[in-house]
Structure 1
Amino acid sequence: MNGKTAIVTGSNSGFGLLCSLELANLGYRVIATMRDVQKGKQLLEMAKKMEVEQLIHIHPLDVTSAQSIRQFADMLKREEKIDLLLNNAGFALGGFAEEVTIEEYRLQFETNVFGVIGVTQAVIPLMRKQGAGKIINMSSISGRFGFPGLSPYVASKHALEGYSESLRLELKPYGIDVYLIEPGSYQTNIWTTGMKVASKSLNEHSPYSSYMNKINEELERGQGQLGNPQEIAQLVQDLAEGKKNTFRNPIGKGVRFTLVLKFIMPWKWVERIVLKKLGIKKRY
């Protein structure tokens, strides 16, 4: 052990699982949280193979539940210090803006935004008291670039980016560093079992059905180019150990080009490129 403690939300799969393992491999005592602790079996099995199971401590935490966050905050009062918080819990909701209900938008924000805020507020007092700490928020390229058919997810990640900017400026004087990780498309379940689509947009009678189908076709074509999620775990390691200290960390195939595309080119050019790639003709 290196005497450090890390909290990872959404650690039962995907980035959260891999990051929990890699942090434990560095000697961190990892408080691995998830809504259903029964889903922690895979994490524990993999930790055992890596001989770090003694450093993984699974705790229940539903980031959408105020009561669950309060209970987690009470548990943290028994901790001497928390060195790292990785806000990873989240999911993706797709669908066209006209057809996504307000309730569905709220559900997306409840997890991806308010859940992050709630957990972060539970951890800040301890970090501020100890005068040190690192908070890593798992954002997305969608937090910098809007994509059609994904407005709930895109909007939630844009909100997370703005929150993180303010948070970094607020906490910097207290020795707490805030970071954003902005992955492109990776081989995790967020775009398969973790992806939810507003039911109306899946209906063949939807005015957007053909558009939705073209987006799905493009996603399927890109399956072979998905990145290795171990790259994200390595980036978390580098941020945790101070090998990197950049606030925004875009990562993944084509991500930097996409950002250049948006911030260098006139927006009307960006529109043409995106719509042409999807085979969508502009209608007037």
Structure 2
Amino acid sequence: MSARSETAAASRSGGRVALITGASSGFGLLTALELARKGIRVVATMRNPEKAEELLKLAEEAGVAERLRVLPLDVTDPLSIRQAVEETIRSYQRLDILVNNAGFAAGGFVEDVSMEAWRQQMETNFFGLVAVTQSVIPIMRRQQKGLIINISSVSGRVAFPGYGPYAASKFAVEGFTETLRHELAPLGIGVVLVEPGAYRTPIWNKGLAAMAAPADSPYGERLERIAQYSRRTAETAPDPRQVAELIGVLADTRAPRLRYTLGSGSRLAIWGRALLPWKWFEGIIRRALGS
């Protein structure tokens, strides 16, 4: 369908428009399909549109391909962000939902992780999310309505050893989102945090593959035990469609709350951190991870 035809169709239907970052796999891919099934026109963005093959195939099978459009967007590139948002508005004249999903997981003990790796983690998971959000706020402000959903993690509430860069980026997302919600609520714009625990998504396979200590690291054995625990957790993790389905519900929720935590053990970890004396909680984590 051409951009002109899409614009006309969107105008006739009065349909909502959603933009999703990191939609080539995992939560982003499944969320794109879920929102399209609800009749929402979805702009599915990713750094490399050549990786959209699986998304497009599943959309065709689900009968929602006509409501899906793939655009390139690298959250670490200001020009790429601007072009994707401008193309969305040029095609649909509106943007109702933003799902900030793009991200990756970097691991390792703090002493072993290079500053370059720390910066890459923050550039994508935090600064990229802020940059995309800034580009969308003026549109939603003029509309006097909109919904921004930031995909955080239980690691944004409870930090674990071996995942310092990832936890730091998600803690930053949590604080940013709280501030943003205060600022945008009077303008009719909703802001929500979705905090998944471990799910069967590529982010953990990629993160674990890169999670290795230098040969002479004093943390090598501990990191390996943590990696083994993470692998076992990933093998038994629930279906990531639960997260996409939640986002679908949030898209139709009139007054969503700030946080939605889901996933096996996530609430227990958060409650334990909040209610137990720190030494008790720390001991539980150490025994669980064998670290």
* Range of TM-score over shorter length: over 0.9
Identity %: 45
Residue 221 of structure 1 deviates from its aligned partner by: 2.4
How many pairs does the alignment contain? 278
Residue 203 of structure 1 deviates from its aligned partner by: 2.7
Deviations 1:196-231 (A, max 9, x none): 636xx4233210000011101211222342011010
Moved over 3 A (4+): 194-198
Q: What is the TM-score normalised by the length of structure 1?
A: 0.94
Aligned residue among 151, 161, 164 for 1:151: 164
Are 1:266 and 2:241 matched, yes or no? no
- Alignment partner, residue 207 of structure 1: 218
Which structure dedicates a bigger proportion of its chain to helix?
A: 2
- Alignment partner, residue 192 of structure 1: 205
- Alignment partner, residue 162 of structure 1: 175
Q: CA separation in 1, counterparts of 2:233 and 2:117? A: 27
Q: Judging changes above 3 Å, is the alpha-carbon distance between structure 1 residues 243 and 225 closer, same or farther for their aligned structure 2 residues?
A: farther
Amino acid at match of 1:238: V
- Gaps of at least 5 residues in structure 1 are none
Root-mean-square deviation (CA, aligned residues, Å) is 1.5
Aligned residue among 126, 132, 143 for 1:130: 143
> Mean alpha-carbon deviation: is it higher for 74-83 or for 129-138?
74-83
Q: What is the TM-score normalised by the length of structure 2?
A: 0.92
Q: CA separation in 2, counterparts of 1:223 and 1:145? A: 18
Q: CA separation in 1, counterparts of 2:234 and 2:98? A: 30
Q: Judging changes above 3 Å, is the alpha-carbon distance between structure 1 residues 194 and 278 closer, same or farther for their aligned structure 2 residues?
A: closer
Residue 77 of structure 1 deviates from its aligned partner by: 4.2
Are 1:69 and 2:78 matched, yes or no? no
Q: CA separation in 1, counterparts of 2:167 and 2:210? A: 13
Q: CA separation in 1, counterparts of 2:130 and 2:80? A: 14
Equivalent residue runs for 1:1-284 within 5 Å: 3-78=15-90, 79-195=92-208, 197=210, 201-242=212-253, 245-280=256-291
SS where residue 10 of structure 1 aligns? coil
> Contact 2:23–2:29 (CA<8 Å) still a contact in 1?
yes
SS where residue 63 of structure 1 aligns? coil
- Gaps of at least 5 residues in structure 2 are 1-12
